[in-house]
Each structure stands twice: as C-alpha cells, then as structure tokens.
Structure 1
Amino acid sequence: MDGAEREPVRAELGAIGQALAILGDRWVLLILQRAFLLRIRTFAGWRDALGISESVLAARLRELVDHGIFELSAYRNGRTRYEYRLTERGLRLWALLVAIQAWERDWVSRGRFPPLLHELCGQDARPRLGCGVCLEPMSARDTRTEPGPQAAFSRVGPPRRHRRTVRSGTPADLIGYCPASMEILGDQWSTSVLAGAFLGTHRFVDFQSGLGIAPSVLTDRLRRFVELGVFDPRPDGSYRLTDRGLAFFEVFALLVDWAQRELSASEGSALSITHLRCGAAFRPVLLCRACGRPLERREVRFLLPG
C-alpha cells in the first residue's frame, strides 16, 4: 500500500487519530518539510529533492490536497501547469515541524541542524515549549491530561494506510530527514504507542488492548523505542518514558493542538490538557530561548547552508 492505493480517514476516529492518519507517514512529513524550508511547490521539485517514486508522490500529494493542507494553483509556463500551495490549515503545521527539528537537535543529533533565526531579537531561537496563556516555559510534567468521555484509546490509533517506510542507517540531513523523529511520527502505530504512553499507558497488555495492535507489531515498536532511548523497560514489565521521551511531549502537544483546532470530531472525543502552574487550558506555543517571546511563523527562518 505504499503506492497509489488510498483509504479515507475513518470518520469515527477522534481528531488526534485523524491527524495521525494524515501525518503519520515519513513521505508526508518530508514533503511538508521541503515545502516549508525550501518552498518547493511542484511535483518535479519534490520528486527530484526526495528521490521518491512518482506513484508514491502523486498519492501523498493527492491526500494532502484532499485533507485541505495543500491546494492546487494553476500558473503559466508556456502551458498551464499546477503547483501545490500550503493552505492556512497547512501553514499552521509550521510549529509542529519546527518542534520536530528542535527535539532532534536537542536529544539526537546534537547541533547538526541549522540555526532558527528569530528576527525580532536576531538570535538563534532554539525553540522550547511554552504556555500560550502565561508564556512560561513548561514540560510534560507541568500538565494534566483528561480524555473526554468519548475519547477511547482505540480512537487514537489509526488504521494502517501505508506500508511502513523507514530508511535505516540514513543520517540526518540539514534540511528535513530526522531519523529518530521519523521512527516515531513517520509511522502511525509508533505515534499511537507514544501517545498512549503520554496518556498513562505503561504495560504491553494495555497498549495492545487499547490500540488493537498486533502483538508482533507492538513488540517491534517497543523494541525500537527502547533502542532510541525513548522508553525505559522496567523489571516489572512496564515501559516508562525517559527524559528524551518526555521531551517529545513538545511535538505531541503541538500535534494535539493542531488536530483539535483543525479537524472535526465527535463531541466528547477531545483531550483536555491543563497547565498546572497557571490552571489554564493548555495552548502550546514555541518560545524563543534568547528573548522569551512566542515565535511566529513570519518572524523566524532557518539559516540554511549555501
């Protein structure tokens, strides 16, 4: 199913499950990263930049258009051609993609990525998660998460829509490919397992029953998370998030926020996240470590080499 075969996102999934079904694919993330960082807009541009097969690229672009993340725009270049432009819904994914690279930089690649210039203060922003209400830096430990009455764990786990595609042994590049992040976000089951951990699931049997995941698939994902240093296996058989795993909450929080703002879902299926320090409903923002101000899309840019 890594070619042109496609399935609609299940309507009964909650907003988070829908978001995972849309974004939980390595090629989708790479397409979006190139769109933001290199402003690629054409089929040929992504094909040449990513080395992706035309059938896979066509399928992913069609899905992104169907989900309102890209829109087709006609232009003239001798004859009428089409390019893919990010919609407002798509543009609002910028913080999620910045958070992915920030996590890789801080916890995996240690400085391999280019600086993110915050034009308001002229410094490397080095983004960190903050509360959009009180503007204080925060972490997963500073929150309380309460699922709605219809937010069954099984509604977080999306159906498998594409064959798992991970380029093992491929190093991080300076533009977009983040191997550790792609192991988590580039695979729907991996993201669902991590979401379960943030919601308090720790044991194999609970992951399996909550997600409806095959034991062999769950075993593989748990093994990879241990190898990545995201989970710590305990003698009692449980899996606990390490500091590296807890730091990925920044990405998870922005994914949840985007999903619940942008995607329709049944009443009562949302997650309610509270910032314990100020008591407000959590609205995640990225803060500049240099000046402490919230980062805005139009006020930041990566300083790419060359």
Structure 2
Amino acid sequence: METVSGTEPRAARAELSAIGQALAILGDRWVLLILQRAFLLRIRTFAGWRDALGISDSVLAARLRELVDHQIFELAAYRNGRTRYEYRLTERGLSLWALLVAIHSWERGWADRGRLPLLRHDQCGGDAEPYLGCGGCRKPMSARDTRVEPGPLARFPRIGLPRQHRRTVRPGGVADLMGYCPDSMEILGDRWSTSVLVAAFLGIRRFVDFQSGLGIAPSILTDRLRRSVELGVSDPLPDGSYRLTDKGLAFFEVFAFLIDWAQRELPAPEGSALTVTHGPCGAVLDPILLCTACGRSLRRREVHFVLS
C-alpha cells in the first residue's frame, strides 16, 4: 500500500476521526463478542448474553449501554408475562455484518484454519470462503494494490483516545467454536494493537515514528510490537524497522471494512478522512465480499454460518 504524504496543518480541534471513533467503539473484546452473538445466534436479551459469554452483569450492562449510545443497538419493549426489553441491531449495527464476516474470513485463512464454521452462500449453495473485492470493478483487492491519501486533518492523534475499559483477558486465551481466535482478539480487542496496525498500513515502519505519530508510551509500543511479531503479523528488520508479513497484509480486508463503516456511519471533522483508491481501476474504496464458489457479491440475508 502506498501512502501519499503532504503538509498537514495542525488541527485546532481534538475531535476524533471516524476511524478513531470506530476503534473506540469496537476495539474491545466484549463488544466484539456481544456483536458476534447478536449476528450468529440472534441473542437480544441481557440474560442471553450473560449466559452465552459468562460475562459479569456490570461489564455487560456497561457495554450494552455504550452500544445503545452509539446507535448500534436500540432498546425495544416486548411482552413476556410482563413488559421486558431487548436489544435490537439498528441499521448502523446491521451494517457491521461485513466487518464481522471479514474477521471470520481472516481467521479461517490465517489464524485457526479448519476450526471455525463455514459460511454458506444460499444463492449458489457453495461454501463462500469470502474474499475482498472492489465495488467499482468487482475484482479482488488487496493492500498491495491500493493507495491511501490522508485528508489534511487525518493526523494520528485523531486515532487514539484514552482507554475506556481495562484490557480484557479471557482465561487461557482459547475461544470456543463461535468465539474469535486469540490472534484476532490480540489485534482488534486492544485499541493500541489496532492503532499500531493501522499505522503500519499507512506506511509507518520505525519505532520512533510509531511513538510520535500515535502518542503511545514506549513501554506500551514495545509490548504491542513484540506481540505483532509473535502473532506473525509483522517482521523486525535489521535496521530496527518493522514490515507487515503476508498475514498482516491480509488483515487489510478487515481494515477496509472498518474504514468504510466508520467513514460512512460516524460524523467526524471535515478533512480527517482517509481516501483509499483501488489502483487497477482508480475507484475509491467501496469494499464488497465476493463468493469464492460463484464470484457473486455476498449479501447479509443470503448467507448463513453452518454451526453444526
């Protein structure tokens, strides 16, 4: 991925970019698991998530409240002897399905092959094995054939923000059949790990540039870079810089849908966006998921996971 650099005027305001807001909302293990269960198992009640995830009442209540505040869930009343409330995905929440499928696809390909359930494409009956495509030309798209141009206010301080929750560590680091793999949780479930990967996609390579760009403490950056190497996402080079491996570059599929959702759904200061262009056709980022079996676009209502 090529990054276009330029003079960036200092932002007078400290509002987060859309991508920064998305990381603040989604960069949490419990949030990802709550959303996953909402899509896969159609869980809508407090008790349903508590029983499925083994999460404490206080933590669950806090995460659900935030998801409602961010208009990803909405509260709806229903009758079951007496009036109760359930959490339903809004249109903004439903539009996250492609991001969650992209995470699943990366996991099957790079993190835990063969363990996770297949995604069946109802239109052709085949195993979808989805891959990232360009909405403009409908051809496969990867980090290597895209170009990123930051807006004039798309500065790294607009990506990070103070941590809202303590970092969640699940016992043993092993997920169940429907849980996300430890690799994904190490990247997406921690906002600094995700921010470091975003910076790497934008061309940052050296420790000092990660530190100054992200405003991250040296000890935290050292830990996150070490983890990225252990996960096989990046390689340290003799000159002290880091480069993304094939596994790390493949995570661009998730990154593409994160950018698309954030910049489409979340308000942000003008000039703080990233423009991603597909080199072969020149189209601005419009990511779609394509079915390996038939080559057609995958739509939310036309796919299902084979959980048996």
Band the TM-score falls in, shorter-chain normalisation: over 0.9
**Residues 127-206 of structure 1 correspond to what in structure 2 (within 5 A)?**
127-167=130-170, 169-206=172-209
> Partner amino acid for 1:191?
T
| 1:140-192: CA deviation from partner (whole Å, max 9, x where unpaired) | 00100010001011111232111111226332322122211111111111110
**Residues 59-74 of structure 1 correspond to what in structure 2 (within 5 A)?**
59-74=62-77
Distance in 2 (alpha carbons) for counterparts of 1:299 and 1:282 = 23
**Residues 17-166 of structure 1 correspond to what in structure 2 (within 5 A)?**
17-166=20-169
> Partner amino acid for 2:94?
L
* Equivalent position of 1:4 in the other structure: none
Same amino acid, percent of matched pairs:
79
Q: 1:49 to 1:11 in 2, by over 3 A?
A: farther
For the 8 Å contact 2:111–2:181, the answer to whether it is kept is: no
Distance in 2 (alpha carbons) for counterparts of 1:99 and 1:240 = 22
SS at match of 2:173: coil
- Structure 2 unaligned blocks of 5 or more: 1-12
Q: 1:279 aligns with which of 247, 263, 282?
A: 282
Worse overlay, 159-168 or 181-190? 159-168
* Equivalent position of 2:3 in the other structure: none
> Partner amino acid for 2:90?
T
Distance in 2 (alpha carbons) for counterparts of 1:183 and 1:203 = 21
Q: 1:212 aligns with which of 191, 211, 215?
A: 215
> Partner amino acid for 2:182?
P
SS at match of 2:86: strand
Q: TM-score, normalised by structure 1?
A: 0.95
Q: Would you identify which runs of 4 or more consecutive aligned residues in structure 1 move more than 4 Å?
A: none
Distance in 2 (alpha carbons) for counterparts of 1:30 and 1:289 = 26
Q: 1:175 to 1:257 in 2, by over 3 A?
A: same
